[in-house]
Amino acid sequence: MLGVDVGGTFTDAVLVGGGRFFHAKVLTTRDQSEGVLAAARQALGRAGLAAAAVDYFSHGMTTATNALLERKGARTASVATAGFRDILEIGRQNRPRLYDLCPRRPEPLVPRSLRLTVRERVAPEGELERLVAGLKEKNPEAVAVCLLFSFLDGSHERRLARLLRRELPEVHISISSEVLPEFREYERFSTTAVDAYLTPVVARYLEALGRRAREAALPEPVIMQSSGGVLPLGQAAASAAPLLLSGPAAGVVGSVFAAGRSGIEDLIAFDMGGTSTDVTLIRAGRADVAAGREIGGAPVGLPMVDIHTIGAGGGSIAWVDAGGALRVGPQSAGADPGPACYGRSGSQVTVTDANLSLGYLGGRLGGEGGLELDAGAAQAAVDSLAEELGMEPEEAALGVRRVANAEMVKALRVISVERGHDPRGLVLAAFGGAGPMHGADLAAELGMRRVLVPASCGVLSALGMVVGDRRRDWSRTVLGAGGWDARLIGETFAGMEKKAAAEMPGAVFVYRADLRYQGQSHELTIDIRPPFGVELLTAGFEHEHERAYGYRAEGEAVELVNLRLTALAPLERPRISRSRAGAAAAGRPAYFDGRWLTAQVWWRDGLAGARAAGPAVIEEDEATTVVPPGWEAFIDESDNLWLERLEPEHD
């Protein structure tokens, strides 16, 4: 089983078979499919296997995310009901910065000149012909169709789609009744526009990847979705909006799998890569799946693992602002030129350079054949920053690390403390290429006593690719359907189940519902199960409302808004063998608590059966774990590395 995850700086691969892991990490390439195949070849080479030995290939990518954030999608036109041409531009009129008198909103994905309308109700002869002619003049690569009440009746959209696909065969058509058949026209229109804007770009990438995989004798890859499940390549290429958080979602899946092997179900997943950091709260072995979020200024109303992302990673650049304060990120050195220590002409200090300067990193990333780090270039960059700040180099490097840590602590508080969850009772699962270097410091800031560093922590998102389930999601708005009862719920789910059974025979169904008190603007989503009684759903909603907001409105009418169906087809989980025992290597100087100390340096496999008290550094091919003074590290029976905070000595 092969999993490959493309990140902003590195492309990671995990090959699992016979209870063993084989890892690979290469720099991300401009044509991401080249890096995917390079990482796969490296993993196969380490395993001594031919590509034909791979029976399952799963992939997560950043193609859709990058295209949306960088506004490099397809030339997209839109068709809306007459009078609603400018929904994308009007939006909700909310202000991200309340006191900004001159806010600058992101430009709509569809410029006004490419927005067309159609009169739905009583259309004169020639209406559709004029529409098609107008679209041909605009020469779009994609068209988003969003008519006003298509979430209740999509027949007009389907009719338009048939006509447009016949007359514009080279143009991708997205219709809202297929992409997001839910009420709230702005969110539905935005999601459909995102799908149309991204699908041609993603389809080209996936077609190239599929072709390269066939040429390399690899199976056709399945693609990770934002919801944490995988889709066949053909279905993924047909609709790109569900793929926006493909890579980060895989990291969450991998952390749930790894923590579950050690019996841990309540944790915070902390994924620090080269460009960004993703954090997620996991309770009872499940991450919350949100009904949507805003990405790059565009609301996307599709199921997504509830991930909070910030621009802080190993490649984040340190800089001094106009007031003389040290700042870190969100700008990143990326893979090219990368941090100064990569030796690729990068000269600005990054978090990775600071960690190398402090003695936390060794001389190579990626194990044998990996990237040699230039300690001299890193130190020169740190020295230059220290001179600008007027401080010693060690203090400047430590300052870079502390500023980055402060940003990440804020992110961890957002998904825990700010949502009413006490992090002190949770485990921090630190992974990603840079996560284990910072895990203990962040846990200490939050009062957490245990840090879990999973096996294959540096490539855990790639591991998540091979342990994720096949998954598809359907939803249907039932608000305004004339009251709700068990019959309405059962009939609506039956229609969605029929579609699910046709696409995923034998799948397990998960049922959810969006409810609200009458008069509220937004809903809460709850898990439900047959029988679908009104009383049971109402009681479940009121319990969730009290948990989320601290009260329930006794006697208030409850509205059912949306019904959601998830189809899951679990995949066989890989078996993993334990590490071999060994001994500690020689120590090296590392900077802790304002002074240089000798840190014991362990190879991770060699720690099995032993305990390492801080200060210590634990190295492996794809990551390095820092064990500060006052912490202790050991490996458990499931091959997971644990950092535990020691109780302070009392006089």
Judge whether 377 lies within some domain.
no
Q: Are residues 594 and 546 in the same domain?
A: no
pLDDT over threshold 80, residue 577 = no
With beta carbons less than 8 A apart as the criterion, state whether 413 and 399 touch: no
In 3D, which of 251, 302, 259 has the Cα closest to residue 280?
251
Residue where a domain terminates, one of 537, 568, 599: 568
| 636 belongs to a structural domain | yes
Domain membership flag for residue 275 = no
Statement to judge: residues 551 and 581 lie in one domain? no
CA gyration radius, the chain: 26
Does 489 share its domain with 590? Answer: no
Q: Confidence class of residue 650 from pLDDT cuts 50, 70 and 90?
A: very low
Task: Over range 521-536, report the average pLDDT.
Answer: 88
Above pLDDT 90, what percent of the chain?
Answer: 47
Last residue of a domain, one of 205, 238, 262: 205
Domain count for the chain: 3
Q: Where does a domain end: 205, 230, 265? A: 205
Asked if residue 519 is part of any domain, the answer here is yes
CATH assignment of the domain containing 139: 3.40.50
Looking at the structure, tell me whether residues 96 and 181 fall in a common domain: yes
Assign residue 93 a region (left: φ > 0; alpha: ψ between -120 and 50; beta: otherwise): left
pLDDT of residue 441: 95
Does one domain contain both 73 and 174?
yes
From the list 595, 601, 589, 600, the residue with the least C-alpha distance to 394 is 595
**Containing structural domain, residue 533:** 470-568
Residue 223 in any domain: the answer is no
Q: What is the pLDDT of residues 263-292, one digit of tens each?
A: 999 999 999 988 788 899 999 888 888 888
Give the per-residue pLDDT at 576.
Answer: 63
pTM of the complete model: 0.83
- Top mean pLDDT of 262-266, 310-314, 329-333, 458-462 is at 262-266
Contact yes or no for 227/304 (Cβ under 8 A): yes
Q: How confident is the model at residue 122 (pLDDT cuts 50, 70, 90)?
A: very low
> What is the chain's mean pLDDT, rounded?
87
Rounded to 10 deg, the angle between the 246-261 and 460-467 helix axes is 80
pLDDT of residue 369: 59
Q: For 132-149, what is each residue's pLDDT tens digit?
A: 899 999 999 999 999 998
Residue 470 CB-half CA count within 13 A: 20
Q: What is the DSSP string of 33-65?
A: HHHHHHHHHHHHHHHT--GGG---EEEE-SHHH
Instruction: Tell whether 526 and 604 lie within a shared domain.
Output: no
One-letter amino acid of 425: G
563 and 588 in one domain? no
Summarised one tens digit per residue, pLDDT across range 294-305 is 887 889 999 898
Do residue 543 and residue 588 come from a single domain?
Answer: no
| Structural domain includes residue 103 | yes
Confidence of residue 584 (pLDDT cuts 50, 70, 90): low
Does residue 552 lie within any of the structural domains?
A: yes
Same domain, residue pair 73 and 201: yes
The answer on pLDDT for 417 being more than 60 is yes
- 75 and 175 in a single domain? The answer is yes
Residues in the chain: 651
Query: What is the Cα–Cα distance from 509 to 501, expressed in whole angstroms?
Result: 10
Q: Scanning the structure block, which residue is given the tokens 């989980």?
A: 573
Query: Is residue 380 situated within a structural domain?
Result: no
Question: What are the start-end ranges of the H helices in 529-596?
Answer: 534-549
**Phi, psi torsion values for 93, nearest 5 degrees:** 65, 20
| Alpha-carbon distances, residue 186 vs 65, 91, 161, 596 (angstroms) | 21, 6, 20, 57
In this structure, the answer to whether residues 80 and 197 fall within a common structural domain is: yes
Write out pLDDT tens, residues 39-48: 999 999 988 8
8 A C-beta contact, residue 37 and residue 212: yes
Least confident of 293-302, 368-377, 419-428, 571-580: 571-580
Q: Residues 523, 616: one domain?
A: no
Cα atoms in the Cβ-side hemisphere of radius 13 Å centred on 45: 10
- Cβ proximity of 479 and 492 under 8 Å: no
